[in-house]
């Protein structure tokens, strides 16, 4: 559970005392702009756009990249539903792709799912476990595809020395209650592509045409919506961003502690799921030979079996499966060039992996003595 520190509380009080709760109309530099500047520097990108959710960040990235009706977007079958909902929001169709034992999108299945209508890939760094971005970027380059990293569950993580969210053509972060840094709700788009950023920034603010500097040079103005981040969110995020690497270091240390404890008990033969950058790993998943063993371990305090967290499994994305747009003339499937299978049989490998796999919560907020007791209890 998130616990506000003194710096976050002081930042919130500062905003409230100033009386300017919205980004625009402030005197001087806004809290949102300060946060964007700090985020750019931390992640190592040229552009950062703060928005009101990770979903909004994904939608803005797709708009920025020019994805729309008739396009297909490859998404993993294990992720929060927003990854599939974002393409639908811009008129494109999500195409389900298997995950592999790393719990991230399978590059081999990406290749199998590409068609002449594929426009983008959204690899998702789930549970602080990073995708294998090298092969993914090579596939994208070969086929002329846009890569939008969904790094909502891996803010601050690295893949071979580069921060996730900075490797693809764009990246999306979430700052909701369950993420590495939190403001209740919030998100950000990251990119080095000036045109993509300009289109996304115009789209995230319906009033962008009257904001100094937002209508970016030679990029035609587009009409937008309102995905702006409020000042209070940015104010409490910036102190957390400064502590992000220390928090990730605690996650890595606790990962090693759990692995050591598991090696002493009856779960010593359980397999660690592979990680695409083991030295930087800050998430932990464990697989078992059969679903029953995974279910037993997942019932322990601090662990959970992934198939039982149904909201992240494609078979439970009820709003996507319904294929019921809010108006029939806005149906993305009407623009599609073929039929799509989003049913249970579309990604059977994913369902099998999730049934045999558990994740362990590394709980950086928990005091170390309490976490040691938790780890020992898991290993018994």
- The CATH number for 354's domain is 3.90.1150.10
Residue 351, domain member (yes or no): yes
In this structure, are 90 and 183 located in the same domain?
Answer: yes
Q: Per the structure block, which two tokens stand in for 104?
A: 């991230």
Give yes or no: residues 68 and 193 share one domain.
yes
Q: What is the DSSP string of 44-109?
A: T-SEEEEES-HHHHHHHHHHHHT--TT-EEEEESBS-THHHHHHHHTT-EEEEE-B-TTSSB-HHH
Query: Does position 1 have pLDDT exceeding 60, yes or no?
Result: no
**Cα angle: 335, vertex 195, 80; to 5 degrees:** 55
H-type alpha helices, the chain: 6-18, 31-43, 54-65, 82-89, 107-113, 133-143, 194-203, 231-242, 244-262, 291-298, 318-322, 348-355, 368-379
Report, as an integer, the average pLDDT of 197-208. 95
Could you tell me if 299 and 203 lie in one domain? Answer: no
pLDDT at 282 over 50: yes
- pLDDT tens figures, 42-75: 999 999 999 999 999 999 999 999 999 999 999 9
Mean pLDDT over residues 120-148, rounded? 98
Same domain? For 90 and 229 the reply is yes
Model pLDDT, residue 2: 46
- Whether residues 259 and 235 share a domain: the answer is no
Which pLDDT score, from 0 to 100, does residue 4 have? Answer: 60
Domain limits for position 266? 244-311+346-379
Q: Which residue has the higher pLDDT, 18 or 163?
A: 163
> Within this chain, do residues 66 and 127 fall inside the same structural domain, yes or no?
yes
**Do 16 and 106 reside in the same domain of the chain?**
yes
pLDDT of residue 264: 86
Domain assignment present for 84? yes
Q: Please report which confidence band the pLDDT of residue 215 belongs to, taking 50, 70 and 90 as the band edges.
A: low
Does residue 287 contact residue 294 with C-beta atoms inside 8 Å?
A: yes
Last residue of a domain, one of 226, 243, 260: 243
Give kind and range of the element (H or E) at residue 302: none
Query: Is 115 part of a structural domain of the chain?
Result: yes
Instruction: Identify the pLDDT of residue 180.
Output: 95
In a domain, 316, yes or no: no
Does residue 21 register a pLDDT over 80? no
* Rounded Cα distance, 228 and 237, in Å: 15
Q: What's the total number of domains in the chain?
A: 2
Return the minimum-mean-pLDDT range out of 186-195, 204-213, 273-282, 370-379. Answer: 204-213
The answer to whether the beta carbons of residues 85 and 324 sit under 8 Å apart is no
Q: Are residues 86 and 172 in the same domain?
A: yes
Chosen domain end from 224, 243, 262: 243
**Stretch 245-254: mean pLDDT:** 97
What's the pTM value of the predicted model, to 2 decimals?
Answer: 0.95
């Amino acid at each position: 559970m998130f616990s506000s520190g003194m710096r976050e509380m002081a930042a919130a009080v500062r905003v409230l005392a100033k009386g300017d709760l919205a980004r625009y109309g402030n005197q001087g530099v806004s809290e949102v702009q300060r946060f964007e500047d700090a985020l750019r520097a931390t992640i190592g990108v040229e552009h950062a756009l703060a928005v009101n959710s990770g979903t909004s960040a994904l939608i803005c990235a797709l708009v920025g990249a020019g994805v729309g009706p008739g396009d297909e977007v490859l998404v993993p079958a294990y992720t929060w539903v927003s990854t599939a909902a974002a393409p639908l929001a811009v008129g494109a169709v999500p195409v389900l792709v298997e995950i592999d034992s790393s719990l991230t999108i399978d590059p081999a299945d990406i290749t199998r799912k590409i068609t002449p209508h594929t426009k983008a890939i959204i690899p998702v760094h789930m549970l602080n476990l990073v995708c294998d971005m090298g092969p993914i970027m090579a596939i994208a380059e070969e086929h002329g595809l846009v890569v939008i990293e969904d790094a909502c569950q891996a803010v601050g993580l690295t893949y071979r020395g580069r921060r996730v969210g900075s490797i693809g053509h764009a990246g999306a972060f979430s700052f909701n209650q369950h993420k590495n840094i939190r403001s209740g709700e919030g998100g950000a788009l990251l990119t080095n592509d000036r045109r993509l950023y300009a289109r996304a920034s115009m789209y995230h603010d319906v009033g962008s045409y009257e904001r100094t500097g937002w209508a970016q040079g030679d990029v035609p103005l587009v009409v937008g919506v309102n995905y702006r981040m409020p000042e209070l969110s940015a104010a409490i995020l910036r102190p957390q961003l400064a502590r992000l690497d220390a928090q990730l270091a605690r996650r890595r240390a606790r990962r090693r502690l759990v692995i050591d404890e598991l090696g002493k008990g009856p779960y010593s033969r359980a397999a660690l799921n592979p990680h695409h950058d083991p030295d930087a790993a800050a998430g932990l998943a464990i697989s078992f030979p059969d679903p029953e063993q995974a279910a037993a371990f997942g019932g322990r305090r601090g662990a959970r079996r992934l198939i039982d967290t149904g909201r992240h499994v494609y078979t439970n994305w009820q709003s996507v499966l319904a294929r019921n747009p809010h108006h029939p003339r806005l149906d993305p499937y009407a623009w599609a060039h073929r039929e799509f299978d989003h049913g249970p049989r579309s990604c059977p490998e994913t369902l099998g992996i999730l049934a045999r796999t558990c994740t362990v919560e590394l709980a950086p907020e928990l005091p170390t003595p309490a976490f040691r007791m938790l780890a020992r209890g898991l290993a018994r």
